[in-house]
């Protein structure tokens, strides 16, 4: 039922700069959509508009075909009539209610009978691992525990649309990983439509079915996560998604440098203004396959991390990082051959050009 559709949505506060500009976004029914971008890019404003906590300055928001906001038609449906579950960074638990009472609160409002209320609250608290703290008050919990109670409060209600704003930000790394897996499972089991705000690209890649990258109030790309990773639409997305970040090499005029070597390699193709190389697509030593770019590199540092090795290389005039999952024998000062068969190409406006393999695949 609830595909969420934003058409031409804009928001400016007090007539100032636009926090969100001309946003067209469809969140399909049952999707797990992550709004991803740096601080101040308009993610939270977008989520708050979907929730009805902010009114757009222009455009239309509809859910399941029902218009909830339309500046032009003078429609505005308040948050409590939208039937959505919200969890925000500031979790706003009732201080005078115990954890259990906080979680039961929404169910009480919906007139769910007491025995069912109790069992649904307990199941939700177990899911987020705060069952044992059920009789405590919010002031007696850590920030991470409070955040999990806020999640449980929303999960107990089981709404069709869940809106989450950085709900895992106060958890330690291990618990965050566990909660990501848990949220993903909850999404698959419940079939709910989820919109999740994060500035953490790994969080978006690991959980979402769709990722919408925003920058300065504008949508940069909307795609399934692995598609976005493989084919970023522009330089901004290319550098924002992936860690360590994709290296961007500007195709300037430096003769004898890496850019010149890459330009010679792509001759006959549209001339790019910049190249992108992901660290894990830069290989050392092993013979390159036909059609790959290769060049000499000096090893500057080897950083082993147990399951992976990061290597800082000087490739002609440029410093690049390579990440590999096989042990690296080379030592600083060694000269090795490095190669890649996955070059990303960008034009002067920073937009993606078809990569060499895209062209080959179409030929």
CA distance 354 to 162: 36
Count of residues that bind ligand ATP according to CB under 6 A: 11
Nearest to 225 by CA among 205, 244, 196: 205
Residue 353 in tokens: 């050009």
Stated as kind and residue range, the H or E segment containing 30 is none
Q: How far is the CB of 82 from ligand ATP (least distance, A)?
A: 19
Residue 286 as a binder of ligand ATP (CB under 6 A): the answer is no
Is 180 a binder of ligand ATP (CB under 6 A)?
no
167 binds ligand ATP (CB under 6 A): no
Smaller CB separation from ligand ATP, 45 or 102: 45
Q: Are 4 and 163 in contact (CB under 8 A)?
A: no
**Nearer to ligand ATP (CB atom), residue 40 or residue 64:** 40
Q: Which is nearer to ligand ATP, 45 or 193 (CB)?
A: 45
Binding-site member from 13, 188, 226, 319 for ligand ATP (CB under 6 A): 13
Q: Does 21 bind ligand ATP (CB under 6 A)?
A: no
Rounded to the nearest whole angstrom, what is the least distance from the CB of residue 19 to ligand ATP in the complex?
Answer: 3
The C-alpha atoms of residue 87 and residue 347 are separated, in whole angstroms, by 40
- Check if the beta carbon of residue 113 is closer than 8 Å to that of residue 144: no
Mark the segment that binds ligand ATP (CB under 6 A) among 38-46, 234-242, 252-260, 345-353.
38-46
19 binds ligand ATP (CB under 6 A): yes
Q: Is 264 exposed, middle or buried (0-12, 13-18, 19+ CB in 10 A)?
A: exposed
How many CB atoms are located within 10 Å of the residue 359 CB? 15
* Ranges within 41-100 binding ligand ATP (CB under 6 A): 41-45
Q: Of 222, 232, 215, which Cα lies nearest the Cα of 21?
A: 215
Which residue's CB is nearer to ligand ATP, number 43 or number 153? Answer: 43
Q: In angstroms, give the least distance from the CB of 173 to ligand ATP.
A: 19
Specify the residue, 23 or 179, whose C-beta has the smaller distance to ligand ATP. 23
Q: Is 201 in the site for ligand ATP (CB under 6 A)?
A: no
One residue of 136, 180, 184, 199 binding ligand ATP per CB under 6 A:
199
What does the chain come to in residues?
A: 363
- 64: alpha, beta or left? (left if phi > 0; alpha if psi -120 to 50): left
25, 32, 34, 37: which one binds ligand ATP (CB under 6 A): 37
Sign of the dihedral through C-alpha 194, 200, 206, 212: positive
User: How many Cβ atoms are within 10 Å of 52's Cβ, its own excluded?
Assistant: 20
Q: Which residues bind ligand ATP (CB under 6 A)?
A: 13, 19, 37, 39-45, 199
């Amino acid at each position: 039922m609830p595909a969420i559709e934003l058409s031409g949505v804009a928001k400016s506060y007090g007539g100032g700069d636009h926090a969100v500009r001309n946003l067209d976004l469809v969140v399909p029914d049952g999707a797990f959509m992550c709004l991803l971008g740096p601080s101040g890019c308009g993610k939270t404003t977008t989520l708050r508009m979907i929730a009805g906590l902010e009114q757009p300055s222009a455009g239309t928001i509809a859910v399941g075909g029902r218009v909830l906001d339309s500046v032009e038609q003078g429609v505005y449906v308040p948050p409590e009539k939208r039937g959505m579950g919200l969890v925000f960074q500031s979790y706003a638990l009732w201080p005078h209610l115990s954890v259990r009472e906080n979680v039961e609160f929404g169910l009480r409002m919906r007139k769910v009978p007491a025995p069912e209320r109790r069992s649904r609250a307990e199941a939700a608290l177990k899911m987020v691992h705060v069952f044992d703290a059920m009789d405590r008050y919010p002031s007696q919990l850590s920030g991470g525990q409070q955040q999990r109670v806020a999640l449980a409060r929303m999960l107990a209600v089981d709404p069709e649309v869940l809106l989450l704003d950085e709900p895992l930000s106060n958890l330690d790394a291990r618990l965050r990983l566990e909660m990501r897996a848990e949220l993903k499972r909850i999404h698959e089991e419940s079939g709910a439509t989820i919109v999740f705000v994060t500035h953490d690209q790994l969080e978006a890649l690991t959980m979402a079915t769709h990722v919408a990258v925003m920058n300065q109030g504008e949508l940069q790309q909307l795609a399934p996560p692995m598609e976005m990773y493989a084919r970023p639409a522009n330089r901004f997305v290319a550098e924002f998604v992936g860690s360590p970040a994709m290296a961007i090499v500007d195709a300037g005029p430096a003769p004898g440098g890496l850019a010149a070597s890459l330009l010679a390699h792509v001759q006959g193709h549209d001339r790019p203004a910049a190249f992108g190389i992901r660290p894990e697509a830069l290989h050392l030593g092993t013979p390159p396959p036909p059609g790959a770019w290769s060049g000499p590199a000096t090893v500057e540092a080897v950083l082993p991390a147990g399951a992976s090795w990061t290597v800082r290389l000087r490739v002609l005039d440029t410093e690049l990082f390579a990440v590999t999952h096989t042990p690296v024998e080379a030592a600083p000062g060694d000269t090795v051959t490095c190669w890649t068969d996955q070059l990303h190409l960008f034009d002067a406006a920073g937009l993606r050009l078809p990569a060499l393999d895209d062209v080959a695949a179409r030929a």
